[in-house]
């Protein structure tokens, strides 16, 4: 029997990346007998055990409901402070024995309540080639700056804003015809492929963290 690799996804908005991970699981790319990125790879059993969402009306909550993924949906203003709701999140992650937390459009900074116990098991996807354009509106930041190439980064999360060891990056050209919407659409397409790939590599134990550098085998 393959040991399940349990993931939790944090998201705040539309949840297209959450959907892409669920689609990869359901299509057998992250779980099931047909997982064969190369023919001799052992099978994987990635399971999305929990969605964590800080906005009750976000579309991702409905996606989770339709997919049958349990969700912890909260309103930050119902808690005394950030540490208070993060403690509750951490307890839920520990109770579910989560192996990897994937921040996929979770639009909140997180504190050491989560970062310290989860370091090395907590990743984030960001729509730029970090360290360029961290923070909010990364796609708009890149267009406003006038760079000709931007992209997508998946990285381990540390205490900073979109800092932490980089696991994988893909570049995306910006053309003179691009609008923020057209560029965002191409970036999302890349994200939906890259994020499940990174989860697969981590689940297979193929990503090693050495200081601030990651090595993928
Ligand atoms: C994604 O483009 C992700 O890279 C970005 O939010 C979007 C969420 O889309 N994350 C950040 O900007 C984090 N700083 P989705 O809800 O459709 O997955």
Neighbours of 81 (CB within 10 A): 9
Q: What is the pLDDT of residue 42?
A: 79
Q: What is the pLDDT of residue 40?
A: 66
Q: Which residues are annotated as catalytic?
A: 126
With a CB cutoff of 8 Å and minimum separation 6, the contacts of 125 are 17, 102, 103, 104, 105, 152, 153, 154, 191, 194, 195
Neighbours of 128 (CB within 10 A): 23
Residue-wise pLDDT tens digits, 25-60: 999 999 875 555 555 677 899 999 999 999 999 999
- For 98, the 3-state DSSP assignment is coil
Nearest 5°: the CA angle 130, 182, 17 is 60
The atom of ligand 1 lying closest to the CA of 152 is 4
pLDDT band at 170 (very low <50, low <70, confident <90, very high): very high
Residue 153 has pLDDT above 90, yes or no: yes
Residue 1 has pLDDT above 80, yes or no: no
In the chain, the domains with their CATH numbers are: 5-216 (3.40.50.170)
Task: Kindly report the pTM of this predicted structure.
Answer: 0.96
Ligand 1: list residues with CB < 6 Å: 11, 13-17, 104-105, 125-127, 138, 162, 188, 191
Residue-wise pLDDT tens digits, 61-114: 999 999 999 999 999 999 999 999 999 999 999 999 999 999 999 999 999 999
């Amino acid at each position: 029997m393959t040991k399940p690799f349990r993931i939790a996804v944090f998201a705040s908005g539309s949840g297209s990346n959450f959907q892409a991970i669920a689609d990869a699981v359901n299509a057998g790319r992250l779980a099931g007998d047909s997982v064969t990125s190369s023919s001799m790879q052992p099978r994987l059993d990635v399971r999305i055990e929990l969605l964590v969402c800080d906005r009750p009306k976000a579309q991702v909550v409905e996606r989770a409901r339709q997919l049958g993924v349990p969700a912890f949906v909260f309103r930050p203003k119902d808690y005394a402070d950030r540490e208070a709701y993060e403690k509750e999140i951490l307890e839920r992650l520990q109770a579910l024995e989560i192996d990897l937390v994937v921040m996929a459009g979770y639009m909140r900074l997180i504190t050491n309540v989560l970062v310290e116990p989860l370091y090395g098991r907590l990743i984030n996807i960001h729509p730029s080639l970090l360290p360029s354009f961290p923070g909010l509106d990364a796609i708009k930041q890149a267009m406003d700056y006038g760079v000709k190439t931007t992209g997508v980064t998946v990285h381990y999360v540390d205490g900073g804003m979109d800092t932490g060891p980089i696991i994988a990056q893909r570049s995306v050209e910006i053309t003179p015809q691009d609008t923020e919407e057209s560029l965002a659409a191409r970036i999302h397409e890349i994200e939906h492929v890259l994020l499940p790939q990174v989860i697969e590599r981590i689940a297979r134990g193929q990503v090693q963290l050495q200081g601030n550098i990651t090595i993928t085998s």
